[in-house]
């Protein structure tokens, strides 16, 4: 066995030692000029919209009709595919007379946008600039003197540093616009200035923060050009221009930042030699596209007579130049979501048990067996795609007595079985999607779980325990095909305490053990274990307010989760090995609301009207996670924040019961995030029959699940149950139906 592990680590170690840098894959090139010659634009800066349908180029030569003053706009028929650039119908926007002059001979210009595309930034290397407000995101064609943003006439070469920038070759912002970066790419003295902006995306509000000297890395006598960060600010990219030699190789240099967007934490990693379809090129301007899975270089082709060319590259992974890192922030965020979901599913099921006990306190048999289905689509705005079924199986009343007893749980008046245990079960299935941010990719989440519990009345108090097994599957929506498969087991102990003035305190404590496999394209690349402890407490006042018996309540839930350290070995294509530190974090929420419950007693039947409204505030703090990539020994910090702080949940239901055993019920529930589009919708229809011959007939219609209809017949034979079940899809063109036979024992 020791030899086996030695062989495993030897193989992995060998792969790491032989691993090279990750290189972009050349796909195609495009000449943005009408005649194919070195004409306008002479490309110097490039940008592309997030949807990949428009591309922007800046012209840097003083010759030609626009004389270096213009922005060239191209439509792409196919998103992110430069072969579909409509060169002949391009739009040319002249900036002359709109503000500071952007042309001064052969000079570098830079085009940038803010995070929502409603601000346009145009810089030239001499320090002048134009800023415009855009009513429509990325509508550069609409700029005019009226859209101009005053900048107090600042020269951005000398506005921040005591030593003026020689030549502004590149500009970048962080995600929220509170920092700006200016690259001084002049030959012989290259560096990047970090500027703090007191007003987001307002360069005139800046103050100097830090200066990153890059001369020793890129080499003296080298021009550097445009700069970019990856989506979470932990990687910095700087391109290189020609060194006055048409045959010289040029590169893109890569740094890693242990603190996002903080240049003081930057550590140089490696460089990539730019290959323009076999030619050396000068990366005057370049950009990422398609969430970091594309790179575009606007350049002069040194070995092709100086023609202006745009090169398109496919990247192996998001921002995969020099190195690939798995969707670290998104993966860690998904692991945190799994931990929170395990706590939520356990506490939610048990508090549903408390609610069921309260509503059935006059029933002598407290056995309950339920199956629940939840569908959740938080980031989708279309109602048609997010309203899915939430259905409860008809097993709830199979073991109930045919007549209601007049005993009360709270009053401890069980005539014969007050010391007996009541058993219950719950199956939950949920489908969800967590929204994306600038740092986190959207995630589809599927959860399945089965829970068994038992409780009894002891001295006017309910005491019980429950065991749950759960399986969570998370699909991170990115081109990296990242997935998580998690197993969990949880033991819960719960109970309630009647208080004075018709109040009750419900509480639970639980402990879970988790095992998570990380997969890329179906292959396991890492394994992580975890454990957690949690508690939840609710207070209810059961005094009768109005005829609907309003019940105010408050709830507090807290949990602590600890993840083990683990290594993500990546794949051969990503060439990435990451070591993740252990992680301990807290989660929780506080909520308040009221329930309403009213039972109308008629001659031989009852009508129950019930529901609740609940406001939920997420107490989970920001979670810092640290890891290292094998390319360097620098620790990187990722921060995971809550997706939604403010949430609200509402429920309304009706249940019609006859003493002869017939039951009809309908219930609707909605969970709504107030910070984004997250929501859950649940709907239940139920029809049942319990007769005096220990037989039960049930019909359940599932209108949101292919109109599936289930008919079942249960016969109680002493301590055994005989069940016949059939289902049918009412309106399906291809009928789906079946039948099964079940024979089982009871507690």
Instruction: Please check the confidence at residue 376 and state whether its pLDDT lies above 60.
Output: no
pLDDT at 418: 45
Stretch among 195-204, 665-674, 707-716 having the lowest mean pLDDT: 707-716
**Global pTM?**
0.60
Locate tokens 């790179």: which residue? 295
Least confident of 53-62, 387-396, 602-611, 665-674: 387-396
The pLDDT value recorded for residue 396 is: 38
The tens digit of pLDDT for each residue in 514-572 reads: 999 988 777 888 899 999 999 999 998 876 666 667 888 999 999 999 999 988 887 65
- More reliable by pLDDT, 630 or 103: 630
Which residue, 408, 413, 341, 331, is CA-closest to 374?
341
* Cis peptide bond prior to 63, omega within 30° of 0: no
Residue 232 pLDDT grade (very low, low, confident, very high; cuts 50, 70, 90): confident
Of 159-168, 298-307, 647-656, the range with the lowest mean pLDDT is: 298-307
- Rounded distance, CA 106 to CA 59, Å? 9
Containing H/E element for 339? helix 328-359
Structure tokens at 266: 């930057």
Most confident of 44-58, 270-284, 670-684: 44-58
Q: Give the pLDDT score at 416.
A: 42
Q: How much is the pLDDT for 11?
A: 32
The mean pLDDT of 286-313, rounded to a whole number, is 79
Q: What's the confidence (pLDDT) of residue 6?
A: 36
Residue 382, pLDDT above cutoff 70 = no
Task: Give the pLDDT score at 244.
Answer: 52
C-alpha 297/C-alpha 309 separation (Å) is 8
Percent of the chain residues past pLDDT 90, beyond the cut: 28
CB atoms within 10 A of CB 299: 30
Rounded Cα–Cα distance for residues 264 and 211 (Å): 8
**According to the model, what pLDDT value does residue 562 have?**
95
Q: For the ranges 88-92, 572-576, 579-583, 684-688, which has the lowest average pLDDT?
A: 684-688
Question: What burial class does residue 572 get, using C-beta atoms within 10 Å of its C-beta: 0-12 exposed, 13-18 middle, 19+ buried?
Answer: exposed
Query: What distance in Å separates the CA atoms of residue 424 and residue 92, rounded to the nearest whole number?
Result: 71
- How far apart CA 55 and CA 46 sit, in angstroms, is 7
Three-state secondary structure readout of 253-310: EEEEECCCCCHHHEEEEEEEECCECCECEEEEEEEEECCCCEEEEEEEECCCCCCEEE
At 252, the pLDDT band (50, 70, 90 cuts) reads very high
Does the pLDDT of residue 630 top 60, yes or no?
yes
Nearest to 560 by CA among 581, 578, 587, 540: 587
* Vertex 232: Cα angle to 230 and 236 (nearest 5): 40
Given a cut of 50, whether residue 733 has pLDDT beyond it is no
Q: Pick from 71-85, 322-336, 338-352, 364-378 the range whose average pLDDT is largest.
A: 71-85
Coil vs helix vs strand at 323? coil
Q: Which residue has the higher pLDDT, 322 or 689?
A: 322
Tokens of 118: 């409603």
Cβ–Cβ < 8 Å for 577, 325 = no
pLDDT over threshold 80, residue 675: no
Looking at residue 113, what is its pLDDT?
96
| 595 in Cβ contact with 540 (< 8 Å) | yes
* Contact of 273 with 283, CB cutoff 8 Å: no
- pLDDT at position 381: 30
Checking if the pLDDT of 667 tops 70, the result is no
Q: What is the pLDDT of residue 710?
A: 61
Strand partners, 228: 237
pLDDT at 125 (0 to 100):
87
Query: Which has the minimum average pLDDT: 366-380, 524-538, 566-580?
Result: 366-380
Structure confidence at residue 633 (pLDDT): 67
């Amino acid at each position: 066995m020791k030899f086996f592990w030695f062989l495993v680590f030897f193989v992995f170690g060998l792969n790491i030692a032989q691993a090279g840098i990750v290189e972009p894959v050349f796909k195609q090139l495009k000449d943005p000029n009408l005649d194919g010659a070195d004409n306008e634009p002479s490309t110097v800066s490039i940008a592309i919209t997030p949807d990949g349908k428009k591309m922007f180029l800046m012209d840097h030569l003083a010759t030609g009709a626009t004389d270096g003053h213009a922005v060239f706009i191209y439509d792409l028929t196919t998103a992110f595919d430069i072969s579909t650039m409509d060169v002949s119908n391009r739009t040319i926007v002249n900036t002359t007379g709109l503000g500071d002059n952007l042309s001064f001979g052969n000079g570098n210009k830079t085009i940038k946008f803010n995070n929502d595309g409603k601000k346009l930034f145009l810089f030239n290397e001499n320090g002048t600039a134009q800023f415009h407000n855009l009513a429509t995101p990325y509508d550069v064609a609409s700029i005019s003197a009226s859209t101009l943003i005053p900048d107090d006439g600042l020269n951005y070469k000398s506005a921040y540093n005591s030593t003026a920038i020689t030549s502004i070759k590149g500009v970048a912002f962080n995600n929220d616009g509170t920092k700006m970066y200016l690259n001084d790419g002049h030959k012989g003295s290259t560096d990047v200035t970090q500027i703090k902006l007191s007003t987001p995306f307002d360069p005139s509000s800046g103050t100097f923060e830090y200066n990153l000297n890059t001369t020793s890395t890129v080499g003296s006598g080298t021009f550097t050009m445009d700069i970019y960060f990856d989506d979470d600010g932990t990687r910095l990219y700087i391109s290189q221009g020609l060194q006055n030699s048409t045959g010289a190789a040029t590169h893109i240099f890569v740094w890693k930042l242990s603190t996002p967007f903080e240049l003081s934490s930057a550590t140089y990693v490696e460089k990539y030699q730019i290959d323009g379809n076999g030619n050396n090129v000068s990366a005057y301007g370049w950009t990422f596209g398609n969430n970091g899975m594309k790179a575009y270089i606007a350049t002069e082709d040194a070995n092709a007579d100086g023609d202006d060319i745009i090169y398109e590259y496919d990247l192996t992974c998001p921002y995969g130049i020099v190195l690939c890192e798995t969707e670290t922030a998104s993966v860690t965020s998904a692991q945190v979501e799994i931990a929170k979901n395990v706590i939520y599913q356990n506490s939610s099921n048990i508090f549903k048990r408390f609610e069921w006990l309260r509503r059935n306190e006059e029933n002598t048999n407290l056995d309950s067996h339920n199956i629940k289905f939840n569908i959740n689509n938080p980031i989708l705005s279309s109602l048609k795609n997010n309203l899915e079924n939430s259905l409860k199986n008809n097993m709830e009343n199979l073991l109930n007595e045919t007549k209601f007893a007049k005993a009360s749980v709270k009053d401890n008046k069980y005539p014969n079985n007050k010391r007996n245990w009541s058993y219950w079960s719950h199956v939950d299935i949920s489908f969800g999607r967590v929204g994306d941010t600038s740092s986190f990719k959207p995630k589809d989440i599927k959860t399945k779980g089965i829970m068994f519990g038992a409780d009894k009345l002891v001295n006017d108090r309910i005491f019980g325990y429950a065991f749950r097994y759960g399986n969570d599957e998370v699909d991170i929506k990115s081109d990296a095909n990242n997935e998580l498969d998690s197993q969990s087991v949880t033991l819960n102990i719960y109970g309630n305490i009647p208080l004075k003035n018709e109040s009750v305190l419900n509480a639970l404590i639980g402990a879970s053990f988790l095992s998570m496999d990380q997969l890329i394209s179906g292959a396991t690349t890492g394994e992580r274990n975890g454990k957690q402890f949690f508690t939840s407490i609710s207070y209810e006042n059961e005094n009768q307010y109005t005829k609907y018996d309003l019940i105010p309540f408050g709830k507090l839930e807290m949990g602590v989760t600890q993840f083990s350290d683990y290594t993500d070995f990546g794949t051969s294509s990503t060439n990435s090995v990451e070591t993740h530190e252990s992680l301990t974090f807290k989660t929780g929420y506080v909520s308040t609301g009221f329930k309403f419950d009213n039972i109308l007693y008629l001659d031989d039947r009852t009508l129950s009207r019930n529901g609740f409204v609940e406001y939920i505030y997420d107490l989970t703090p920001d979670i810092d996670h640290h890891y290292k990539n094998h390319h360097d020994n620098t620790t990187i910090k990722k921060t995971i924040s809550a997706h939604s702080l403010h949430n609200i949940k509402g429920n309304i239901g009706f249940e019609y019961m006859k003493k002869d055993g017939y039951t009809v019920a309908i219930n609707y529930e909605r969970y709504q995030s107030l910070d984004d589009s997250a929501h859950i919708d649940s709907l239940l229809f139920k029809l049942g029959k319990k007769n005096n011959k220990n037989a039960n007939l049930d019909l359940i219609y599932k209108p949101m699940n292919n109109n599936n209809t289930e008919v079942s017949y249960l016969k109680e034979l002493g301590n055994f149950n005989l069940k016949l079940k059939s289902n049918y899809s009412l309106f399906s063109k291809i009928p789906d139906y079946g039948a099964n036979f079940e024979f089982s024992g009871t507690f």
